[in-house]
Amino acid sequence: MLKGLSILRKTKRAKSGNSLVSMGEKTIIGEQVSFEGSMRGNEDLLINGSVKGSIELHDYHLTVAPKGQVQAEIYAKNVTISGRLVGNIKATCKVDITKEADFSGEIKAKHISVEDGAYLKAVIELDREPQKKAEPADKTAEQAASRSEKEPLTLLSDAESLAISAHHPWEDTSLEPDPASNVVRLFLEGLKEEGEVLDVGPVCGENISFFAQRVKRLYVCDMFLRLDQERRKSLPISWVWQHLDYPPQSFDGILLWNLIDCLDDNEVGRLVELCHNIVRSGGMVMVFVLAEQAIQTVVNSFVIGEGIRLDLRPQPHLDIPFHIRQNREVLALLAPFIPIKSFIYQKGLRQFLFQRD
């Protein structure tokens, strides 16, 4: 029974399914129901309608259905979001965010899963599991990473740039198994007291779980999805930067992935300016640059797998143009930052680590 809904329950039971009803151990708020206030319950709750206030289901499951509209402070055992939710969530177990979700707020939970395509601007804190090493767990990966680390390309020379640009184009949508990503590893090692990190997307459940378990607080703002939406609406690309409205010096690290590949030089300059403002002194910025992108027909996201290996996952819901750049162009565009390390990964993928002085 949910307290605070008894009057609604008495009047709505006689009406159609688009109402508030109790079905066994679950209460359903129908599409035509709007509620404002505080809810406390001892059963699962499914919201198809509109709710504003606070929801307390400490030992039960809250579900925001695709048509649900919720603005609330939430306390529950598990939370599933498929509709729109603005607010803060404290879950004693798990939060599931589906691809239909539109979520803005903070999440504190033991576990989180996020489907590709979710519209997300979130701050995520996970209960820490027993400490995990950032380095690959198996000896083979450790040895391979060590060999790769012996060949860093710090401040690449012109000859090295030409060598990289001569690599063969991408032949498929996945990276072959390879040693751990040294840039990801060095990024984690360089964080101050595990730090606060901004991930600009694309939204990837594996990456969110990976970093949320290793940093103090993970901020997620999918700029790829926002670029795609602005493009579809024929709005000026400059509109997208309003989403990076974080206070100055908010982060110890920023995960840009391959975002600069989706922007022209002027917009990369704007992005770099914003990042330089919101990252702290000594903070790091991780950048990936794809090779020979012209043959790609779909946007891909990088997925961190076992042993900090990278795989590519197609994101067919995104329609964003590509821009091909040489290493010297990347270094010039990121000029406000100091280049720390760069590596060549599989098939010419270039990984860069920059630092704010």
pLDDT (tens, 9 = 90+) of the chain, 357 residues, equals 565 554 344 333 323 344 445 555 789 999 999 999 999 999 999 999 999 999 999 899 999 999 999 999 999 999 999 999 999 999 999 999 999 999 999 999 999 999 999 999 999 999 876 654 444 444 444 444 444 443 333 344 444 434 433 333 323 334 545 568 999 999 999 997 789 999 999 999 999 999 999 999 999 999 999 999 988 888 888 889 999 999 999 999 999 999 999 999 999 999 999 999 999 999 999 999 987 644 466 788 899 998 899 988 999 889 998 888 888 999 999 999 999 999 887 767 889 999 998
Q: 139-149 vs 182-189: helix axis angle to the nearest 10? A: 90
pTM of the model: 0.82
The matching CATH number, chosen from 3.30.465.10, 3.30.360.10, 3.40.50.150, 1.10.472.50, for 139-355 is 3.40.50.150
Q: Please give the angle made by the CA atoms of 82, 212 and 59, to the nearest 5 degrees.
A: 55
What gap in Å lies between CA 212 and CA 143, rounded to an integer? 26
CA-closest candidate to residue 114, choices 205, 209, 200, 211: 205
Contact between 81 and 109 (Cβ < 8 Å):
no
CA pair distance 157, 3, nearest whole angstrom: 68
Q: Which two tokens stand for residue 64?
A: 């925001």
The residue ranges of every structural domain in the chain are: 2-9+22-115, 139-355
**Contact between 82 and 98 (Cβ < 8 Å):** yes
